[in-house]
Chain A
Amino acid sequence: MAINLSREIVHSLEREKIKEIGNTNFYLCYQCGNCSAGCPCAEEMDILPHRAVRLAQLGQFSRLIESKAIWVCAACITCSVRCPRGVDIAGFMEACRQIVLRTRKVDHLSPVELDAQLLKELPQIALINNFRKFTG
C-alpha cells in the first residue's frame, strides 16, 4: 500500500494526542519487534504492535485507527515491560482506542446487544473492564 508522507500527514495532530493520552514517546521505538514477539494477542491482529508503532511514527493514523489490532489488545502490558526503548506500547494502544472513541463517538461494543445468557454468566470484573476499554 502506498504511504503518503507529506508534511501535514507526518505532523498531524494525532501524534501529540497519542503521546499525551498514552503518556509515552513512541518515536523512541527502533523496531526491534520485542513487543510483537511476546504479545499474547498478536495472532489475531491485522497489524502487529511494532508495526502499529511504526505507522504512528510515519503519521499514518488513519490506518491505525481503522485497524482491528487496537481492539484485540488485551492491555496486558507485556510489551511495555519488555521494550528496550521504554515505549509504553500498552499506553499507546489505549491512546489509539481513546482517539476513536472520543472522535467518532461510536462505541466498539454495545452492552445492550450482548447475549443475555452470556451477560448473566460473566463476572462483573470482566464486564466493567471490557466496557471501560470499549465504550466512551
Chain B
Amino acid sequence: MEISYYPGCSLKTSAINFERTALSTLEELGIYALELPRWNCCGVMFSQSADNLMLQLAPARVIMEARETGRKRLLTLCSMCYNTLKRSLLFFKRNGEKLKKINAFLKLEERDFSAEGVEVIHLLTLLSELDTSNFKMKIKKIKSNLKVASYYGCLLTRPREIALDGVENPQIMEKLLEIAGFQTVNYPFKTDCCASFQVVNRRNVVKKQIRKIVTSAVRNGAEIFALSCPLCEYNLDSVQQELAQEDETFTPIPVLYISQLLSLALGQDPKLNDFSLHRIDPRPLFKEKGLL
C-alpha cells in the first residue's frame, strides 16, 4: 500500500531517527510512505487567531500538495504536524467563506485549493489499523520485559475534534507497544503538557512539568518513555539531563520515539536509530533487555 507522507521540519533534523525508524517499520508491514514532492513547514502550531487567515496558508499549501498527488491519505509522524494539518483541514471544511478567500489568494499560483479529498492520518492510527496477527508474526525479538511509559502530550488528543483516541485516557500507544511485546505502565500524567515552547524563555515551567511527569512514570515502574512529538522529545530528554545534574536523587530515563522501539522489536538494523542524538543514552538498557 502507498500513502503520501508529510515529514515537517523536525523529521529531517532533530528527529531523523524518528523518520528512519518509522518509515522502515511501515515498510516491513507493507506500507510505502511517499514523501510529498514539495512541502513547507506547516507553522508548527495551528493558529488560534481565528481572524488571521495568513497563518492558514502554510498548512493550506501542504494540503494542496497532498491533493495533487491523487492519494487520499496524508501521513504525519510528528504530533504537532498532525494537529496543525488536521485542524486546518477541518477549519476549511467548516468555513466555506475562508476557503474561498484562500483560494482567491492562491489563484495567483494557478492552483485550486479544496478541503475535500484529503485525510490527515497519524502514524499511530495507521499502525493500529493494521492486521495485528501479521504484526505479531514479524516481531523477532523475544518478548521484552522492558517497561514503557507512553507519553502523549497535548496535541494527539486535543482538541477533542481531532483526537486520535480518548482525550483523557488514550490507549493507542500502549496497544501497539503490547503487540510488539513490551510491557506498558499506567501513570496519571501521560496527557499532561510538558510546557512546550516555554522551553525557549521559561525553562523553569518546563522543568517543573518534566519533574512531575517523570517522577510519576518512574514510581509506576517505567524504564523508558515512548512518544511521537519532537518537541516533547527534546524537552523530556534535555530537561531530565539537567535535573539529574542538579539533583542526584532524580532518576532520568531514556526517551524514545515509539517507532524506534517497534523497529528494534522487528529486528531491524539498530543503526537506523542514531543513538548519538539521545542525551540520555538508551543503549545500556537495551543491552540489558536483549534488544541490542
Contact = CB atoms under 8 A, between A and B. Distances in A.
B209 A40 contact: yes
Q: Which of A78, A90, A134 gathers most chain B CB within 10 Å?
A: A78
A98 B10 CA distance: 26
The secondary structure that dominates the A interface is helix
A129 interface: yes
Given A109-B201, A129-B197, A132-B43, A21 B234 contact: no
A75 B196 contact: yes
B167 interface: yes
Contact of A21 (B15, B49, B231): B49
The size class of the interface chain A forms with chain B is: 35 or more
Given A20-B50, A81-B159, A125 B230 contact: yes
A29 B252 CA distance: 40
A21 B55 CA distance: 13
Given A132-B45, A133-B45, A44 B13 contact: no
A2 interface: no
B165 to A, nearest CB: 13
The secondary structure that dominates the B interface is loop
Contacts of A81: 158-160, 167
Nearest to A77: B158
Contacts of A88: 159
Interface string A81-119: 100000010110011001000000000010000100010
Contacts of A109: 200-201
Interface in B41-72: 41, 43-45, 47-52, 55
B145 interface: no
A114 B195 contact: no
Contact of B234 (A76, A98, A114, A126): A126
Contacts of A3: none
Contacts of B43: 128, 132
B18 to A, nearest CB: 12
Contacts of A23: 48, 50
Contacts of B93: none
6 contacts: A40-B205, A40-B209, A41-B198, A124-B14, A125-B44, A126-B235
Given A44-B204, A72-B205, 7 more contacts: A41-B198, A44-B208, A76-B196, A78-B158, A78-B191, A126-B197, A129-B45
CB-based closest 10 A-B pairs: A76-B193, A23-B50, A94-B48, A129-B197, A130-B197, A77-B158, A123-B14, A130-B200, A76-B154, A129-B44
